[in-house]
Structure 1
Amino acid sequence: MDPMSAFLGGGDLTLLVLAGIVILAVFKGVRIVPQSEKYVVERFGRLRSVLGPGINFIVPFLDRVAHRISVLERQLPTNRQDAITSDNVLVAVDTSVFYRIIEPEKSVYRIRDVDAAIATTVAGIVRSEIGRMELDAVQSNRAALIESIRAHLANIVDDWGIEVTRAEILDVNLDEATRAAMLQQLNAERARRAQVTEAEGKKRSVELAADAELYAAEQQAKARRILAEAEAYATGVVAAAIKENGLEAAQYQVALKQVEAIAKVADGAGRQTVLMPTSALEAFGDAFGLLKGRKGA
C-alpha cells in the first residue's frame, strides 16, 4: 500500500470517529421528558436544572440526569393511629392522604423517604387535633377536622416541594368498652324519649277531653239560654194577650196546660185507666169547653 492510500484511510477513520462523537454528543445533549415526569439535572454532583416536559438540551458529558421524578398524584397507604380525645376516649383513626410533587429539586435534596415523612406528620397532626376535641365533636365535625389536618399538613410539606391535594379520615374506631357504654347510653336515651312521648300523648288526651267537656257545657248553657229566651218570649206573648183580651186569654192558657197535663198522664205507665176526682173532671171539662170555643172563634 502506498503512503497516499494510507493517508486517505487514516482520514476516513478520523471522520468516522468525529461523526461518532457528534452523534453521541447530540444523543447526550438532547432529553425528551414525558408529560408526567420532571428530570433533575446535575453537573459535577451539584444541581444544575430541572427539565420539564418536551425537548430539552443539556451540556453533553458535563450534565447528567440524576433523578426522574413523577409528578402524578399519589395516594399514601391507609394509615391507622391512636389518639385520645379531650374527654379521655381512646380512638383509632384511619387516614389517607393524596399528594403530588411540584418541585422535584426540594423533594430530592431535602427528604429521603417522602411517604414515610408524610405518614409520620399526619399521625402527629391527627393526635394534636383530636386531643383538643370531644368524641361527639370528632364524630359530628369530621369535615372540619379533615380540613384542619390538610391545612396543617400543607404548611409542613411545602418545604419538601409537595402539594397535598386531599386528606381523608376514613373511619374513627372505638374500643369495645367505649362502644358498649355508648350503646347503653343510646338505649337509655331512646327509652327516655319514648317515655316523654307517651307522657305528652297522655297530656294531650287529657287536654282534648277537657276541651270536649267544656264544649259540651257551653252548648248546654247555650241551649238553656235559648230555652229561657223562648219561655220569656212566650210569657211576653201571653202577657200581651191577657192585656189585650183580658181574662178569657188567661183561661185559655190554663186550659191548654190542663190538656197537656192529661196527655202526659195518658202517656205514662198504666195509661189504660186514669182515675180522677169529680172536681178535676169538671175543671178539665171547662178547659175543653174553652179550647173548643177558642178554636171556633
Structure 2
Amino acid sequence: MSEDLILGLLSENIVILLAAVFLIVVVLKGVRIVPQSEKHVVERFGRLHSVLGPGINFVVPFLDVVRHQISILERQLPNATQDAITKDNVLVQIDTSVFYRILEPEKTVYRIRDVDGAIATTVAGIVRAEIGKMDLDEVQSNRANLIASIQSSVETAVDDWGIEVTRAEILDVNLDQATRDAMLQQLNAERARRAQVTEAEGQKRAVELQADAELYAAEQTAKARRIGAEAEAYATGVVAQAIKENGLEAAQYQVALKQVEALNALGNGDGKQTIVLPAAALEAFGDAFKLLKG
C-alpha cells in the first residue's frame, strides 16, 4: 500500500472522527436537561430568548446560551432585626424572618441584582411603617394581623421581581430595660386595681345578699301575720254566724263553760291557793252554773 493511499485513508478517518465529534457536540449543545428544582434562562445574541422548565429542552447550538440557572426552591432570608417606633412612641426591636421563592426567573435576573438584599431592605421599611401605625399593646396582642399586613405589603413590593413571598414571620418583639420596668410597674398596678375591684364587688354582693335575706324574712313575717289575721277574722266570722243562727244563749253558754274550766284549773293546782273574787265575778259564775245545769 502506497504512502499516498495511507495518508488518504488517515485523512478520511480524521474527517469522519471530527464530524462525529462535531455531531456529538451539537447534540450536547442542543439538548438541555433541566432538574426539577431549577429553571434556566436562555439568551440569544445577548438578549433574553426563553426560559427552560424542568425536563428535556431543545435549543439552537452555538446561538442559544444558558446564561442563568435559577433554583426555584423556597428560600429563607437570614433573620434580621429592625428598630421601629410604635404609635405611642415606644422604641422596639423586631426580629423578622422571610421565606420566598422565584416564580419568574427572567424578571429576577434582569430587574434586580441582589435579591436577598433587596427583599431584606423592603421588609425592614415595611415593618417600620406598619409598627408606626400601632400602639405597643396592639403590636404584642395582634401579631397575626401584623404579620399578614407585612406579608401582603412585601408581596406587592416584590411582584415586579418575579418573586413570591411564601411566609413572613415576626420572631420576637424586644423592648429596652427602662420600658420593661415601666410595663412591669403598670402591670402590678393593674393587678392591684383588679384585686380591689374584685374585693369591692364581693362586699357589694354580700350586702345585696344580706338585704335580700332581710327582705325575704320581712315578707315571710308579713305573710304570717296576714294569714293569722285572716284566720282570726274567719274565727270571728264563724262565732258571729253562730250567734246569729243560735241566739245569744249559745254564746253565753260557751262563756260560762270557759269560766268553769278556768276555775277548775285554779283549783287543781299543786299548792293551796286562796282565790279572792269580786262580787260581780261570783254572780257571773253563778249564772254560768245555772246555764250549765239548765
Using structure 1 for the length normalisation, give the TM-score. 0.86
Using structure 2 for the length normalisation, give the TM-score. 0.87
Letter in 2 for 1:28: K
| Contact map agreement 1:259 1:287 (CA 8 A) in 2 | no
| Contact map agreement 2:75 2:99 (CA 8 A) in 1 | yes
SS at match of 2:244: helix
**More displaced, 234-243 or 35-44?**
234-243
Q: 2:139 maps to which residue? A: 138
Task: Give structure 2 stretches of 5+ with no counterpart.
Answer: none
**More displaced, 109-118 or 244-253?**
244-253
Deviations, residues 186-233 of structure 1 (Å, cap 9, x unaligned): 222222222222222222222222222222222222222222222222
Q: 2:192 maps to which residue? A: 191
Structure 1 residue 278 displacement after superposition: 4.5
Which whole-Å CA distance do the structure 2 matches of 1:54 and 1:33 have between them? 5
Deviations, residues 59-98 of structure 1 (Å, cap 9, x unaligned): 2233322221100111112211110001001111111111
Q: 1:49 maps to which residue? A: 50
1:93 lines up with 2:84 in the alignment: no
Which whole-Å CA distance do the structure 1 matches of 2:144 and 2:263 have between them? 91
Kindly tell me: are residues 124 and 274 of structure 1, through their superposed partners in 2, closer, same or farther at Cα, counting changes over 3 Å?
A: farther
Task: Give structure 1 stretches of 5+ with no counterpart.
Answer: none
Counting only pairs closer than 5 Å after superposition, residues 80-229 of structure 1 correspond to structure 2 as: 80-229=81-230
Counting only pairs closer than 5 Å after superposition, residues 49-68 of structure 1 correspond to structure 2 as: 49-68=50-69
Q: 1:22 maps to which residue? A: 23
| Contact map agreement 1:150 1:167 (CA 8 A) in 2 | yes
Deviations, residues 81-123 of structure 1 (Å, cap 9, x unaligned): 1100010011111111111111112222222221121111100
**More displaced, 50-59 or 284-293?**
284-293
Deviations, residues 155-190 of structure 1 (Å, cap 9, x unaligned): 221222211112111222222222222222222222
Structure 1 residue 246 displacement after superposition: 3.7
Deviations, residues 34-69 of structure 1 (Å, cap 9, x unaligned): 111011223343333221111112222333222211
Structure 1 residue 271 displacement after superposition: 6.9
Which whole-Å CA distance do the structure 2 matches of 1:170 and 1:180 have between them? 22
Deviations, residues 219-255 of structure 1 (Å, cap 9, x unaligned): 2222222222222222223233333444432333333
Provide the aligned C-alpha RMSD in A.
Answer: 2.9
SS at match of 1:216: helix
Counting only pairs closer than 5 Å after superposition, residues 224-235 of structure 1 correspond to structure 2 as: 224-235=225-236
Q: 2:37 maps to which residue? A: 36
Structure 1 residue 131 displacement after superposition: 0.8
SS at match of 2:133: coil
Which whole-Å CA distance do the structure 1 matches of 2:290 and 2:102 have between them? 123
Which whole-Å CA distance do the structure 2 matches of 1:89 and 1:100 have between them? 34
Structure 1 residue 275 displacement after superposition: 3.6
Counting only pairs closer than 5 Å after superposition, residues 69-80 of structure 1 correspond to structure 2 as: 69-80=70-81
Which whole-Å CA distance do the structure 2 matches of 1:163 and 1:149 have between them? 14
